[in-house]
Amino acid sequence: MCGESGPTEEFGVPHERGRDSWVLCLARIIVTMALDRPEWWLILFPKNMTNEQAKNPLHGKTLEAIVVELSEHYGWDELGTRVDLRCFTHDPSVKSSLKFLRKTPWAREKVEGLYLTMLGSQNPWGTGSKP
């Protein structure tokens, strides 16, 4: 078991105990505990961990991609009307908008909200999947 010295066999593969042996030992302990108590699998691998991100339309979207899509969809004038921010109304550009939005959380929330609204208007079923 863990802590033994000399050659051993892990998962049917013989190997010499060395610097990686603690990883195998820890893996064996975790698997043993999870087999003894199945509820531990939920602690190690929560079901909602992937489901929440899969349902989040902002997951994996960069702020730059959001600003570019909004500016292409609405145009800078309409974007400045919908979200009254100076970076959209006075000499707007993606670069200046990103600089401001990265420093200003409340403005970023407004822009992300408009993006979600835009996605909802493009998809008749909302931001989630079809019924």
> What was the pLDDT predicted at 115?
94
Q: Where are the beta strands (DSSP E) in the chain?
A: 7-10, 13-16
Give CA angle at 102 (98, 107), nearest 5°.
90
Residue listed under structure tokens 């702020």: 63
Model confidence pLDDT, tens digit, residues 78-131: 999 999 999 999 999 999 999 999 999 999 999 999 999 998 877 655 444 444
Identify the architecture of domain 54-122 in CATH: Orthogonal Bundle (1.10)
List every span in the chain annotated with CATH 1.10.720.30.
54-122
pTM assigned to the model = 0.56
